């Protein structure tokens, strides 16, 4: 059973669904009409035969069929009709499943196209929104225009085939949403992947400052309100939860890590005093609570991982200075330490 | 030609006696029942919101039951004629 809210393999636990789209219901009408017609077809045939005063059992007067015993003929008709109607019913179930399980999902980071092919085949296509180059919506024909559905084509970077979403309701809105999500994702700083996909270097260079600020904001503002630290190393960010508010214990742990030579940055947030966001300023200020704040020396050398690499200053671990820092919009430059 | 006659003979044999006919009938219903079950398993596994899926499953179940009952009654009536 699918975990509730988890729809495709690449979906992260915190990744919310922005759009959950099925094909427009109009595309289902021809299939339903076919099923209904096939259901009543035998009775239409019987009616016309009766109009011509021809009995259904007259078919058994034909050559070869007259070899069938009289006793069996009624049974055969019953079995054939049973088989016929059950086939139509099963066909109805199959197309219903095909309609119901064909899903297009748009999250803030991914596009997913889930296709149910027949009863036992399933195809899931995923695409990162970072790879989006262009989004086109198309509405062709009378029915698509009247019922407001069409095709959305998402052109992607690299050699990957374009992402095609057919018979989507309100394709213009869907295309706008996908484009907006792509732009938001790029601004949030997913450049490592973007670098690999050929996004312009000048675009990345100009936003490194924003990237550091975004990282700070993302970690600090989104931490749950318990005492937690993030340790960033070459290949991962590990979350360390401290069950105690004992600052000494926390400091010891940080010192241990520094002594081992781990390239870490520790960001600790307290639950006591939430961060204040002043108007027109983005701050990482922690008001006089004794918590350690950020010490980041941004290093944008790509290490091959998806994260930036930061270095911790040992002096920060050993020092006891009151730590508060304020970062204003536009102040941070490449490589600049945030001075405590 | 020989094959066609053989098939006709087989059909006649299977439908000459009521209990054989009933076995064929149960086989047909059983096959479609199993296939329907697989389909419902797919819906249960991958059903996302259950908004209008459950009513549709119930509709299918009711229609399936109706077809089976009507065909069974027809079989009984044919047997008594």
Give the tens place of pLDDT for each residue, A40-84: 998 888 888 888 877 766 766 767 666 666 777 778 888 888 999
CB atoms B60 and A96 under 8 Å: yes
The ipTM (two decimal places) reads: 0.86
Query: Which range is most confident: A5-14, A243-252, A262-271, A288-297?
Result: A5-14
Nearest to B15 among A76, A87, A89 (CB): A76
**Segment B23-28 long-range contacts (CB within 8 Å, at least 24 positions apart):** B24/A79, B25/A78, B25/A79, B25/A82, B25/B71, B25/B72, B25/B75, B28/A79, B28/A82, B28/A83, B28/A86
Average pLDDT value for residue range A147-156: 88
Q: Is B63 on the interface with A (CB under 8 A)?
A: yes
Q: What is the pLDDT of residues A300-322, one digit of tens each?
A: 232 333 333 233 333 333 333 33
Report pLDDT for B12: 74
Q: Is B20 on the interface with A (CB under 8 A)?
A: no
Average pLDDT value for residue range B25-30: 92
CB atoms A101 and B29 under 8 Å: no
Report pLDDT for A245: 37
Name the helix (H) or strand (E) containing B36.
helix B18-46
Q: What is the pLDDT of residues A73-132, one digit of tens each?
A: 778 888 888 999 999 999 988 888 888 888 888 888 888 888 888 888 888 888 888 777
Report pLDDT for B32: 93
From first CA to last CA, the distance across chain B in angstroms is 32
| CA–CA distance, A46 with A42 (Å, rounded to integer) | 6
Q: Is B22 on the interface with A (CB under 8 A)?
A: no
With a cut of 50, say whether residue A267 has pLDDT above it. no
Name the pLDDT band for A282 (thresholds 50, 70, 90).
very low
Question: Which residues of A are less than 8 Å from B5 in CB distance?
Answer: 64, 67
The residues near A187 (Cβ < 8 Å, ≥ 6 apart) are A207, A210, A214
Question: When comparing pLDDT for A234 and A336, which is higher?
Answer: A336
With a cut of 70, say whether residue A160 has pLDDT above it. no
Q: Is B44 on the interface with A (CB under 8 A)?
A: yes
A238 CB-contact burial (10 Å; exposed 0-12 / middle 13-18 / buried 19+): exposed
Name the helix (H) or strand (E) containing A99.
helix A70-100
Name the pLDDT band for A225 (thresholds 50, 70, 90).
very low
With a cut of 70, say whether residue A259 has pLDDT above it. no
Report pLDDT for B18: 80
Name the helix (H) or strand (E) containing B67.
helix B53-80
Report pLDDT for B14: 75
The residues near B54 (Cβ < 8 Å, ≥ 6 apart) are none
Report pLDDT for A238: 38
Average pLDDT value for residue range A14-20: 80
Residues on chain A bordering chain B, Cβ-to-Cβ distance under 8 angstroms: 1-2, 7, 20, 64-65, 67-69, 71-72, 74-79, 81-83, 85-87, 89-90, 92-94, 96-97, 100-101, 103, 114, 116, 119-120, 122
Report pLDDT for B50: 55
Question: When comparing pLDDT for A316 and A154, which is higher?
Answer: A154
How far away is chain B from the Cα of A155, in angstroms, using its nearest Cα?
A: 27
Question: When comparing pLDDT for A230 and A313, which is higher?
Answer: A230
Is-contact A65 B10, C-beta < 8 A? Answer: no
Average pLDDT value for residue range A246-255: 42
With a cut of 90, say whether residue B65 has pLDDT above it. yes
């Amino acid at each position: 059973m699918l975990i509730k809210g988890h729809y495709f393999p690449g979906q992260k636990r915190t990744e919310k669904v922005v759009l959950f789209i099925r094909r427009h219901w109009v595309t289902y009408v021809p299939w339903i009409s076919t099923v209904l017609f096939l259901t009543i077809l035998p009775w239409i045939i019987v009616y016309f035969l009766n109009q011509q005063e021809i009995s259904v059992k007259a078919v058994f007067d034909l050559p070869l069929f007259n070899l069938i015993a009289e006793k069996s003929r009624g049974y055969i008709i019953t079995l054939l009709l049973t088989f016929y109607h059950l086939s139509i019913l099963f066909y109805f179930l199959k197309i219903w499943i095909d309609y119901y399980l064909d899903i297009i999902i748009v999250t803030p980071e991914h596009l997913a196209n889930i296709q149910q092919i027949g009863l036992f085949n399933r195809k899931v296509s995923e695409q990162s929104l970072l790879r989006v180059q262009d989004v086109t919506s198309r509405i062709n024909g009378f029915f698509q225009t009247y019922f407001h559905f069409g095709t959305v084509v998402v052109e992607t970077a690299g050699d990957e085939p374009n992402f095609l979403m057919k018979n989507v309701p309100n394709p213009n809105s869907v295309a706008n949403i996908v484009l907006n999500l792509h732009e938001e994702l790029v601004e949030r700083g997913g450049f490592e992947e973007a670098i690999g996909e050929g996004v312009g270097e000048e675009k990345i260079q100009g936003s490194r400052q924003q990237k550091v600020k975004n990282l700070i904001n993302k970690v600090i503002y989104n931490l749950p309100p318990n005492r937690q630290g993030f340790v960033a190393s070459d290949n991962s960010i590990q979350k360390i939860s401290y069950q105690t508010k004992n600052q000494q214990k926390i400091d010891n742990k940080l010192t241990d890590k520094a002594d081992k030579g781990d390239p870490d940055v520790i960001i600790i947030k307290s639950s006591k005093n939430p961060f204040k966001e002043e108007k027109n300023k983005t701050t990482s200020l922690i008001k006089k609570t004794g918590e350690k704040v950020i010490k980041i020396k941004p290093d944008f050398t790509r290490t091959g991982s998806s994260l930036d690499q930061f270095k911790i200053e040992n002096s920060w671990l050993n020092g006891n200075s009151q730590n508060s820092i304020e970062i204003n919009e536009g102040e941070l430059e490449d490589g600049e330490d945030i001075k405590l | 030609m020989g094959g066609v006659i053989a098939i006709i003979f087989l059909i006649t044999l299977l439908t000459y006696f009521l209990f054989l006919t009933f076995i064929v009938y149960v086989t047909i219903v059983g096959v479609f029942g199993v296939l329907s079950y697989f389909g419902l398993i797919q819906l249960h596994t991958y059903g996302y919101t259950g908004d209008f899926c459950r009513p549709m499953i119930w509709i299918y179940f009711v229609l399936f039951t109706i077809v089976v009952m009507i065909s069974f009654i027809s079989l009984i009536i044919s047997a008594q004629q």
